[in-house]
Amino acid sequence: METTPTLKWKHAEIKVLMYFHALIPYKPVNPKTRLASVMTQEEREEFAEVMLGDVISAVRKTGCTATLLCTSKYTCREALVAIRKEGLNEAINWALPQFHCPALIIMSDLPMTTPGSLQRVLSTKADMAIVPGLGGGTNVIFVKHPETFHVEYYGFSYRRHLQIAEELGLTVEIIDSMRMSTDVDEPSDLVELMIHGHGNAREWLYEHGFALSMENGRVSVTRNGEKIA
């Protein structure tokens, strides 16, 4: 492991992170491209920001502070911001060795996350808790000794993270949560958010012409009256 550099926060230089600090990777420009068929780029940027806001809000209500790992310039009142232009794994693996306390790594597209669901993660007795994403990804990791851990996102990252934990001899608790397993990537994911969301992301959808409707006995999503999922 290389010498751990000081995190270069946007707002301040911080040498020691607080207990239960969250890392939230975030892409401010042209995010959520799989929603491009139903939202303009500007809308996707706004929607991604609103989802992020819901995640930060849930994180802060558990008592955690948060740092965004942003791919480009970004201002946020509720979290620290570190600009990291490299890939997702490189950015997180740059931050982890600098932790001297447990770390929560949570994706920014989990707007159904509630403080209660996060508490299930943070209260684990294991060395690590993980919430798989639907389809084999990893949505949330909580690791008590992040300085020895590293992440490998993309693809079947859930299996990979379990393997990494095993290689490190860590005990792992798998958290069974629909709210945190459902990341919002595709139009069809909007159904769950519109049904189960409590925060601003759900409101944003309704304010922008999205609605739930019934078709052939199934719940579908429409935008301005047209079915999109």
| Residues of the shown chain interacting with its own copies in the complex, contacts defined by CB under 8 A | 114, 117, 132, 134-136, 154-156, 158-159, 176-179, 181-182, 191-192, 195-196, 212, 214, 217-219
β 138-143/128-132 pair status? antiparallel
- Alpha-carbon distance values, 153 to 47, 69, 160, 180, 183 (Å): 23, 15, 8, 16, 14
Amino acid identity, residue 211? A
| The one-letter amino acid at 185 | D
- What's the Cα-to-Cα distance from 30 to each of 41, 43, 59, 71, 177, rounded to whole Å? 6, 10, 24, 11, 28
Q: Which is nearer to its own copies, 9 or 154 (CB)?
A: 154
Residue 96 or 175: the one with the smaller Cβ distance to its own copies is 175
Q: How far is the CB of 178 from its own copies (least distance, A)?
A: 4
Q: How far is the CB of 226 from its own copies (least distance, A)?
A: 19
DSSP letters along 159-180, please?
HHHHHHHHHTT--EEE---HHH
Pick the closer one to its own copies by CB: 39 or 190.
Answer: 190
C-beta of 152: minimal distance to its own copies in Å?
12
Closer by beta carbon to its own copies, 71 or else 181 = 181
Q: Can you tell me the distance from the alpha carbon of 85 to that of 82, in angstroms, rounded to the nearest whole number?
A: 10
Least separation in angstroms between residue 38's CB and its own copies is 17
The least CB distance from residue 74 to its own copies, in Å, is 25
Residue with tokens 């509630």: 114
- Decide whether 101 or 229 has the Cβ nearer to its own copies: 229
